[in-house]
Structure formats: structure tokens, C-alpha cells
Amino acid sequence: MQSAELFNVVAPADGLARVLRVVAAPLPAESVPVMTALGRVTAADLAAPADLPAFARSTMDGYAVAARDTFGASESLPALLEIVGEVAMGRTPDVRLGPGQAARIFTGGLLPDGADAVVIIEETQLVGPVSVEVLRPAAPGEHVVRPGEDVRRGEVVVLGGHVLRPQDLGALLGVGLTAVAVRRRPRVAIVPTGDEIVPPDVEPQPGQVRNINGGTLAAQVLAAGGVPLTYPIVPDDAEALRRAARAALDAADVLVLSAGSSVSTRDMTATVLDGLGSPGIVAHGVALKPGKPTVLAVADGKAVFGLPGNPVSSMITFELFVAPTLRHLLGIAEPPRPATVRAALARNVPSAPGREDHLPVRLVERDGALLAEPVFGKSNLIFTLVRADGLIVVPLDALGLMAGQSVDVRLF
């Protein structure tokens, strides 16, 4: 019974690396409408199929001119031009400029033949129904967007492995790309286990507790870009667990087993996870608090996680191991920077060297300064996380952090 306590613990980063080394990634691509692709990850570089804009456009309201017709113009000696028409929006202009001629144009209008610049209306003076004085010389190209100035045909506009943002969608639509190849979302099977666990809608009897981790984990999967598949609670029975884990893994890309919390069930969990496929367990126990009894495994290319049953451990180990694995499966080239704030630590935090500590903190403003107050609490307490605004990390080799020290708080 004590054998499982003899963890061969590895550093968290090393444990993750062992998973990523043997997992099959990235997931296949699928084509989706750009309008539904927010947050999806591009499967390949995307090149512009055409110049944007396709034609020289005015960026202001005013007059399309040939710049050379305005050289030397000033308020005292304006250039007098003949107005030969107006550029209608969205159509080929039915005017073309000869020497000494101008055409009314609006923002976004196509520059007519013979024009190479726009004079803004504030720098002109109407002197008759078809005559305008230009009060300042225009430079060639002034107030004009050249064809291809936004993006050139063939130019890579969005790299592969990019998490699509609102402006990326607009840009793809702008060059006529209405569908985009993105990585399929990873399906993550969540299997809660434990004789004492009941579904949230069941009134617990003495000794029973509701399934907390299932809901938190499913939401974490969603937030990380995956699709959660939630499974019924499995009792602490090796054969039942083996069957449930096998079925869930077959239906999913990743298996997360929310483990029973006692040492004996942890042993059972580890045995089951190890038997799901090759190479099996790659790390049993990590140098982490909370979250030490985490099991990391890979079964025939699919990542398998045995997460601790304590709610705080469960949430933190998901972020440390499962979320980066999902990003790896999605082929994300550069993970989005996590939202962090710097704050002054409100009190000393002790730690042990050789162990990475993750500590929930609450942010408090005091006298204009931002303080990070540790929310101490047993890792069994989900409300420790509810009351917290984020996490701070005490690195593997540190003895602790000092009150007043500036820390990065990773918001959640």
C-alpha cells in the first residue's frame, strides 16, 4: 500500500516534454467557414489570392488630380482645374482626366485614369460649377492607397499554427477567402472515478460528494480549444475502470481520468492507464504542489492523464499538462501569452526546493498598489480557487518568496 508513495517524481516541464515527445500531433485539418473560425488554429500558411486593394483608392473626400497639375500651387497662386465629373462609389469611373482636369472623389473611390493623387476638400476652393482652385501642391500618391498596399497577391497573410483573431477573419474575408483549413478540435474524454462521487443533481448520502472536477475540467477543455466528452462516474473497480477508460480513449484524442484520491485507487488508476497502449506511463508523480500524484501516459499516440481528485490539484495539473498538450495537438506555433499582472506579494510564502509550488492568490488594491494575497487552503477545497483571481508559481529551486516581492500573477 505504501509502494505508490515511492514516486519517481519528475519536474513538471520534464513530464510534459515526455508526453509531447511521443504523442501523435498535430491533429488533421478540416475546412470551416471563416465566419465561424474565431479561436481556431490555421493548418497551413494562407496566401492572398489577389491584391488588396485591387485598385488605387482614395483615402479622403476631395478631388482626384494629376499631381503635376498642382505643382507650385499656393493660397496666393492656386492651381485652377476643370471639374469633369464625379467618381461614383463601387463602379468604374466614367470620367478620365486630361491635363488641367479634376474629378470629385470620395473616400474609398477608385482613382480615374489620368489621376495619381487626391487633394482633400479642405485644401480646395470651388470657384464655379465646374472650376476648383487647389491651394496646395499634391505629391504623387498622396491620399491614395496603392493596389496591393494592404497585401500583395501571393503574400502570406496568416501563418499556419496561428490562433485566428477577429481581425484575421476580416482580413481573410477581405481577400475573398471564405473558408479556412484549421486543425480539428481535440476531443477530450473526461472520466470521473470514485465510489464516493455522485452526479451534481443527486443529493449526496453520508460519505458521498458531488462531482466537482467534471464540470471544471469540461470548462477548461472548452477554454483550451477542445471539445469535452463527459462520461459517467466510474466506481473504484479495476475492471470497470479499464472498460470505461478504453471506450473513452477510443472515442477521443485525449483521455483525462479524474482519479480517486486515495493511494490504493491511485495504484489501480496507474495500472489501468499503463495498460491502455504503448509506451504507457511516462511519468508517475511530478515535483509539484499541489498535484504530485499526477500520472502522465501515452497510449499508441494518444495522451492519457490521471489527474488528482482534489479540485485545486485537478485544475492546476490540467493547466500544466493537458492544456499544453491540446495546444500541441492543435499545432499552435506560438501559444497566446497568458494574461498576467505584476503585484506585490502580501506575505511570505514558504516552499521546499525541488518542488514547483502553485499558489492561488487574490488581488487587492491598497493605497494604489496591487497586492497578491495568498489564499491558503487545503487542495480539497474548490472554493480556494473560486476566491482566487490567479496563481503564482514558486520555482523548483526556490526556498519560497518574500513579502513585498514583485510576482507575476497568472490570472484565471
> Which residues does 36 contact at the CB level (< 8 Å), separation at least 6?
none
Beta bridge partners of 366: 369
Task: Rule CB under 8 A: say whether 368 interacts with its own copies.
Answer: no
Q: Which of residues 74-93 bind its own copies (CB under 8 A)?
A: 87-93
* Beta carbon of residue 221, minimum distance to its own copies (angstroms, whole number): 9
Nearer to its own copies by C-beta: 116 or 298? 116
C-alpha cell at 346: 502580501
**How many binding residues for its own copies (CB under 8 A)?**
100
> Quick one: which of 18, 13, 23, 11 has its CA closest to 296?
18
Q: Beta-carbon neighbour count of residue 196 at 10 Å? A: 16
Q: Which of residues 6-35 bind its own copies (CB under 8 A)?
A: 34-35
Task: Rule CB under 8 A: say whether 380 interacts with its own copies.
Answer: yes
**What is the C-alpha to C-alpha distance for residues 175 and 163, in angstroms, rounded to an integer?**
19
Q: How far is CA 20 from CA 94, 158, 297, 332, 382, in A?
A: 62, 25, 10, 13, 29
Beta bridge partners of 371: 344, 364
Window of 14-22, 133-141, 194-202, 248-256 that interacts with its own copies by CB under 8 A = 194-202
Nearer to its own copies by C-beta: 282 or 315? 315
Window of 95-103, 175-183, 248-256, 394-402 that interacts with its own copies by CB under 8 A = 175-183
Window of 198-206, 244-252, 298-306, 396-404 that interacts with its own copies by CB under 8 A = 198-206
Sign of CA pseudo-dihedral 10, 16, 18, 19: positive
> Quick one: which of 264, 402, 299 has its CA closest to 23?
299
Task: Rule CB under 8 A: say whether 311 interacts with its own copies.
Answer: yes
Task: Rule CB under 8 A: say whether 3 interacts with its own copies.
Answer: no
Nearer to its own copies by C-beta: 87 or 326? 87
Judge contact between 259 and 293, C-beta under 8 A.
Answer: yes
Q: Which of residues 218-257 bind its own copies (CB under 8 A)?
A: 218-220, 222-223, 230, 236
Task: Rule CB under 8 A: say whether 291 interacts with its own copies.
Answer: no
Nearer to its own copies by C-beta: 15 or 260? 260
Window of 14-22, 53-61, 130-138, 243-251 that interacts with its own copies by CB under 8 A = 53-61
> Quick one: which of 282, 254, 297 has its CA closest to 25?
254
Task: Rule CB under 8 A: say whether 147 interacts with its own copies.
Answer: no
Out of 279, 336, 353, 395, which residue is the one contacting its own copies (CB under 8 A)?
336
Judge contact between 390 and 363, C-beta under 8 A.
Answer: yes
Q: Which of residues 91-120 bind its own copies (CB under 8 A)?
A: 91-93, 106-110
**What is the C-alpha to C-alpha distance for residues 4 and 267, in angstroms, rounded to an integer?**
6
Tell me the Cα Rg of the chain.
Answer: 31
* Beta carbon of residue 401, minimum distance to its own copies (angstroms, whole number): 20
